[in-house]
Structure 1
Amino acid sequence: MTEHTNPYLTGLFAPVQDEVTAHDLPVTGRIPDGLNGRYLRNGPNPLGIDDPAAHHWFTGAGMVHGVRLREGRAEWYRNRWVRSDSVAERLGEKASHGPRHQDKDFAANTHITRFAGHYLATVEGGSLPYELDAELNTIGPFDFQGTLPGGFAAHTLLDPASGELHAVAYCWAYPYVQYLIAGTDGRIRRRVDIPVEGSPMMHDFSLTSGHVLLYDLPVVFDLERAGAGPGLPYTWDAGRRARLGVLPREGRAQDVRWLDIEPCFVFHPMSAYEEDGRITVHLVRYDRLFDASRNGPDEAPPFLERWTVDLAAGTVRQERLDDRPVEFPRIDPRRTTGRHRYGYGVLEPSEGYGTAWARGHLAEAGGSGAGGSGAGASTTAPAKIERVGIGLVKYDLERGSSEVHRFHPDGDVGEAVFVPADPGMSAAEDDGWLLSYVFDPERGATDLVVLAAQDVTAGPVARIHLPARVPIGFHGNWLPDGG
C-alpha cells in the first residue's frame, strides 16, 4: 500500500498542510441568538509520515479545528496541530514544558473538552492530555496539578449534578484500568484500579447517577502485531469472555460485578441512566473488529442498541434499535447520567459496507479542497474508505422513531454536538441546536452547520463557511462563554 492508495491519506481523510486563521467568516442563514462560545473538534491530521503504507487513521497527529461565535457573528476559524513532542520536532519548534508520563508521547487526536478552566486535548492508551489556550495554541501536557496517577483517557463525562469529571483510563502494559474522578478544583480526587487481564481496548465507558459501566470486550492489544507491519496492534480474541462491569460510583475494585454479554465491541455509548433497579444504556455496537482486517474499523457495520441491565438478576438484555449503520452518538449534555428521550448520531452508508467507496474520494478541487496539496491526494479512488457520514439522525428513544437530514452525497458529515437553547434546565430536552462540520464538495471546503434540533429535517438554519477543508475526524464539544 503506497501513500496514494492508503485510504487514510486520500480523499476526505487526506491531511491538510497548513494552519489557518480566518476572521469574519461568511454565513448563509442566521446564527441563532445565544450561540456565544467555541465549537472545537479534534481529529488526526498526519504530519511528516515516515511510512505511508503503515499509517492508520487512529495514529495521526492531533489537529483541533475551531470556530468562535459571538452575537450572531462567526468571528474566527482556526486549525492548530496539538504540539506533542514529535509534532513540535517536525515543525522545528521546541518541545513544550510540562510533565510526561513514562515518556509516552501519543498523538492527542481524539477529543477536546474544557474542565476547571483548562482546554484539554485527549487520547487514550497511557499518555497525558495536552492543554491548549482559548485560541488553540498548545500550552503543554496536563496532569491535573500533579494528581493524575498515570495516563488519561480519550473520553470523559462531566456529571452535571456535581460538576466533576469522570474517566476510565487504560494502557496495554497495565494489568488494570483506572476509574478516575477529578473534582471541581481541577485535581484528581478519586482513583480505583480495577484488575483486568489481556490488555483490552477500553475506548469509552458509561456513567449513571450511581454506577460506572466498564466494557471489557474481545479487542485486545497484540504484542506480536505491534511489530508486524501496517495496521493497529489490536486484534479480535475470539476466545475472550465479553463482559460488562458494573461498579458503584463510590465502590472499590472488588465491588465490580462482571456480567456476561454477547461478544461485540463498543467504541461509543450514547448515554446511560438507572431507574427501579435497572440500568438502561444506549450505545453503538459492532459484532466484530480487527479480526480479518487491521486497517479498520471496516469489518462490521455499527448499529444502535439498547442494553437493559437488571441489577437484581445480574443479566443484560441486548436489543437492536436501528438497522442503519450509525456512529458518534450524542445526547443533550444536561441529561448525562439521567433519563434521556432524544439522541443524535451520524448515519453511514448502508450499501457495500467495508468495500470500495469512491464517494469517499474527491476529484481534484485545488487549494483547500481534497486535491490541493494534501498528502496523498490523488485522482484515483482508494481501495477502501470507512467512517464516511451521509446524514444526521435524531432518535426519539421513547417512541422508537427517528428523523434524518441528509447532506450532499459526495460530502461528509461529522459528529453532531447538541447545544441547549438554555444552559439551565428550563429549555426542553430537544430545544436547541445541532452543530457539525459538513464538507461541501461544491466549494471544496467545510461548513459549520447549525440545525434546529426540534426539526432536523428542515435543513440548516445557518451555514458558516470555513476557508479550508476539515478532514474526517473524531470528537468535539461546544464550549460556551463563561465556562
Structure 2
Amino acid sequence: MPNDAARAVTSGANPWLSGLFEPVREEITALDLPVTGRLPDALRGRYLRNGPNPLQVDDPASHHWFSGEGMVHGVRLRDGRAAWYRNRWVRSDAVARRLGEKVLHGPRHLVDFAPNTHVRRFAGHLLTLVEGGALPYELDSELETVGPFDFHGTLPGGLAAHTVLDPATGELHAVAYCPAWPYVQYLVAGTDGRIRRHVEVPVTGRPMMHDFSLTEHHVLLYDLPVAFTLGPGLSVAAFGWDPDRPARLGVLPREGTARDVRWLELEPCFVYHTMNAYERDGLITVHLARYERLFDGTRKGLDKQPAHLERWTVDPAARTVRRLRLDDRAVEFPRIDPRRPTREHRYGYAVREPLGEDRAGFGVGLLKYDLVRGTCDEYPVPAGGDVGEGVFVPAAPGAAEDDGWVLAYAFDPERGATDLLVLAARDMAAGPVARVHLPVRVPVGAHGDWIPDPG
C-alpha cells in the first residue's frame, strides 16, 4: 500500500538511509512465494524480524538508524511451502497520523514510539520491542498493529529491546531503562502476562543498557561507558562514549533488592548483545560480543569497530571477571537454542561482520560455534550480499541442541531482493536447504524470532 508520507525519505549522503539500509516505501503482501530447495515440513509458523524503517526524515544529514520507526517483515511457513510475506509499520500515534489513519486506543507512557528492535511472543501476545522508555506494541497474526501493551496495566514504565524467557518457569525477564530515569528496572512478568516483580537499581549518568544476562539465580547489569545526554524537555540530545565513565558489571540476585547488587569493576568496553549466561560451582559463565570502544567519534560512516566473541567467568564472591577471547573474527547478533537460556549450552550462532568502512550491511556470513570443542563453522554470503541475525529453530521439542535449522534474511545481489535462508544447523557450511525468494529487498534490520504455530 504506497503512501505519500513514506515517499518523503531521501538519503542524501547518510549511510543509514542509502544502500542496503535504505528504507522501503510501501507495505506489501505476497502469497505463495517461490522456493528453491525443500522447506522442512516441521517448520510451521512465522519468521518475523523487526528493524528501523523511517516514514519521514526531517534532517537526513543527522538521522541515525536507531530513530527510524519500526517495520516488521514476516514469512509464513507451513506444509512445506511459503504461504506469505508481509511487511508492516508498527502503528504508533505518529505513524498512524502520517499514514492518515486513526490513532489506536490503548495506554500511553512517557515515550510513544513505534518499536523498531525486536519481536517476542509472550502470554498470547505478539509484541514489538524497543528500549528507552517506550511501551511495546502488540501485533496480530498478520502483522497488523493492535495497539500499545502495558502488561494489563502493570508495567511501571517502558520495557526493553531484549528480554529473556526463562524455560524453567515460562516467565519473561527484562532490564528496562529510560534516559530520564536515575535508575534501571529489573522486571519479571508472570505467565499471566502481568508484571509480578520490579526492582529499581540506581545508576548515574544515563547509561545505554541494550541487553542484560540472566542465570538461574542472578541478573547481570552492564553499566558501561556509552551514555546519553539530554536536551530540552528530557529529550535525548545525543549518545556516545564517555571516557570518564567507569565500566562495571552488576550482579543482582533474582529475588534480591537494589542493595543486594554487587558491582564488579571492568576494563572499559561496551556490550550490545549477550549470547547466554549460566552458573556452576559459584561461578557465572557468560558468552557475549564485546567492543573495546563504541560511538567515540573516531570512526566515520556507520561508526562501528569490531566486536569479538568472548567468554567471561564471573566470580561474585571474589568480585572478579576473567575474560577470554574465543574468536578473532568480527561478530555480532549472538543467539542460542531458545530452550537453553540460563542453562549450560554447547552451541551458539552469530553474524560475521565485515571489517572496515566499505561495508554493504551488517553481515558477510553466518557462524556456528561449538563452545566445547572450540570450533566454528561458517556459511559466507556472496560479495555484495548481506545476511542478518540467524535464529535457531529446534527440529522438535525434545531434539538435540543443534538438531534444527537456522533462519535468516539475506540480500541476494543477483536478484536485487531478499531471500529467507533455511540452513541445517548441523551442517551450516553446506549452505541452505531452502531459499524462500521474497519479491522485495528487506532493509538491514535488527532482531527477530520464530513464532511456531500453536500445538
For the residue of structure 2 that corresponds to 1:58, the secondary structure is: helix
The answer to whether the 8 Å contact 2:226/2:294 transfers is yes
Structure 2 residue 183 is matched with structure 1 residue 170: no
- Out of 32, 49, 54, the residue aligned to residue 24 of structure 1 is 32
Return the offset for 1:290: 1.6
The Cα offsets for residues 192-216 of structure 1, whole Å up to 9 and x where unpaired, read as: 0001111100001000111100000
The answer to whether the 8 Å contact 1:292/1:299 transfers is no
- Out of 365, 377, 398, the residue aligned to residue 391 of structure 1 is 365
The answer to whether the 8 Å contact 1:116/1:186 transfers is yes
- Out of 272, 275, 284, the residue aligned to residue 279 of structure 1 is 284
Any unmatched runs of 5+ in structure 2? Answer: 1-9
Partner Cα distance (1:296, 1:159) in 2: 38
Structure 2 residue 52 is matched with structure 1 residue 80: no
Give the 5 Å matches for 1:60-139: 60-102=68-110, 104-139=111-146
For the residue of structure 1 that corresponds to 2:450, the secondary structure is: strand
Q: Match for 1:258: what amino acid?
A: W
**Hey, which of these two has a bigger chunk of strand by percent?**
2
Partner Cα distance (1:402, 1:52) in 2: 40
For the residue of structure 1 that corresponds to 2:74, the secondary structure is: strand
TM-score (norm 2): 0.95
The Cα offsets for residues 130-171 of structure 1, whole Å up to 9 and x where unpaired, read as: 000000000111000000011111111100110000000000
Partner Cα distance (2:288, 2:230) in 1: 29
Return the offset for 1:310: 1.4
Q: Match for 2:45: what amino acid?
A: G
The answer to whether the 8 Å contact 1:278/1:311 transfers is yes
Partner Cα distance (2:401, 2:300) in 1: 38
Question: What does residue 64 of structure 2 align with?
Answer: 56
Question: What does residue 319 of structure 1 align with?
Answer: 324
Return the offset for 1:224: 5.8
Structure 2 residue 177 is matched with structure 1 residue 203: no
Give the 5 Å matches for 1:265-304: 265-292=270-297, 298-304=303-309
Change (3 A) 1:343 1:205: same
Question: What does residue 260 of structure 2 align with?
Answer: 255
Q: Match for 2:387: what amino acid?
A: V
Question: What does residue 473 of structure 1 align with?
Answer: 445
Return the offset for 1:109: 0.2
Question: What does residue 404 of structure 2 align with?
Answer: 432
Question: What does residue 381 of structure 2 align with?
Answer: 407
How many residue pairs match? The answer is 446
The answer to whether the 8 Å contact 1:437/1:448 transfers is yes
- Out of 333, 339, 344, the residue aligned to residue 334 of structure 1 is 339
Partner Cα distance (1:225, 1:462) in 2: 51
Structure 2 residue 238 is matched with structure 1 residue 233: yes
Change (3 A) 1:294 1:232: farther
The answer to whether the 8 Å contact 2:230/2:237 transfers is no
The answer to whether the 8 Å contact 2:404/2:425 transfers is yes
For the residue of structure 1 that corresponds to 2:259, the secondary structure is: helix
The answer to whether the 8 Å contact 1:232/1:294 transfers is no
For the residue of structure 1 that corresponds to 2:33, the secondary structure is: coil
Partner Cα distance (1:139, 1:396) in 2: 40
Return the offset for 1:94: 1.2
Partner Cα distance (2:86, 2:344) in 1: 36
Question: What does residue 43 of structure 1 align with?
Answer: 51
Query: Higher mean Cα deviation, 273-282 or 296-305?
Result: 296-305
Partner Cα distance (1:297, 1:317) in 2: 30
Partner Cα distance (1:225, 1:4) in 2: 27
Question: What does residue 306 of structure 1 align with?
Answer: 311
For the residue of structure 2 that corresponds to 1:427, the secondary structure is: coil
Any unmatched runs of 5+ in structure 1? Answer: 361-386
Q: Match for 2:426: what amino acid?
A: Q
Partner Cα distance (1:145, 1:338) in 2: 30
For the residue of structure 2 that corresponds to 1:86, the secondary structure is: helix
Return the offset for 1:50: 1.3
The answer to whether the 8 Å contact 1:84/1:105 transfers is yes
For the residue of structure 2 that corresponds to 1:24, the secondary structure is: strand
Q: Match for 1:291: what amino acid?
A: D
Question: What does residue 458 of structure 1 align with?
Answer: 430
The answer to whether the 8 Å contact 1:289/1:296 transfers is no
